[in-house]
A and B are shown apart, each in its own frame.
Chain A
Amino acid sequence: DAGVIQSPRHEVTEMGQEVTLRCKPISGHDYLFWYRQTMMRGLELLIYFNNNVPIDDSGMPEDRFSAKMPNASFSTLKIQPSEPRDSAVYFCASRPSGSGNEQFFGPGTRLTVL
């Protein structure tokens, strides 16, 4: 298995533009998580899905952020409009069912909003 795949690896955009980050979880994993990592705030959970259904989006900073999981092998995180404070590394992670199971992280997308 190739592991969790994220694209793009780097994204530079201007304030006000729409940004879409993509994630392909490991096949067979029922849970998918989106995280954001910054020096100031560390690794923060934004939203997670179970069987393609959003379960908890309490970490989504504001309405400019949205996430979808149309099928078991694909998820997107969209920021519209983007702002400089959204600059961070965004990670997608997946894991199989079962409490406490390890999460498998993707390589991350480094987003820079100018």
Chain B
Amino acid sequence: SQKIEQNSEALNIQEGKTATLTCNYTNYSPAYLQWYRQDPGRGPVFLLLIRENEKEKRKERLKVTFDTTLKQSLFHITASQPADSATYLCALDHNFNKFYFGSGTKLNVKP
């Protein structure tokens, strides 16, 4: 099975700064890695997917990196806003159809 580690402590940053969240995994390297956002009382919402042969992916203010040597993905939100406050989950695939989720990191962006 896959062990996924995300920082359980909340990340508190000031509006306008860049937030960086970490996802570390052990055991096998996944073919895909996804990042989701979850707001209180709601289901996770997909943000970005990165494949094992991609080192970096961007979407608007979001950037994801994937280092298969370090077994780590970093998720960046640039020019952060209070509306970005949420819990962010990483998910790693297993045999393409099955994803294991990390426990998530809560981000608080203060105005």
Contacts and interface: CB of A to CB of B under 8 A. Distances in A.
A108 B42 contact: yes
B97 A50 contact: yes
Nearest to A42: B103
B51 interface: yes
A105 B44 contact: yes
Secondary structure of the A contact surface, majority rule: strand
Contacts of B62: none
Given A42-B103, A102-B49, A105-B43, A56 B96 contact: no
Secondary structure of the B contact surface, majority rule: strand
A103 B46 contact: yes
B31 A93 contact: no
- The interface size bin for chain A is 20 to 34
B101 interface: yes
A100 B98 contact: no
A37 to B, nearest CB: 9
A55 interface: yes
Interface of A: 4, 31, 35, 42-45, 48, 50, 55-56, 91, 93, 99-100, 102-108
Interface of B: 31-32, 34, 41-46, 49, 51, 89, 93, 96-104
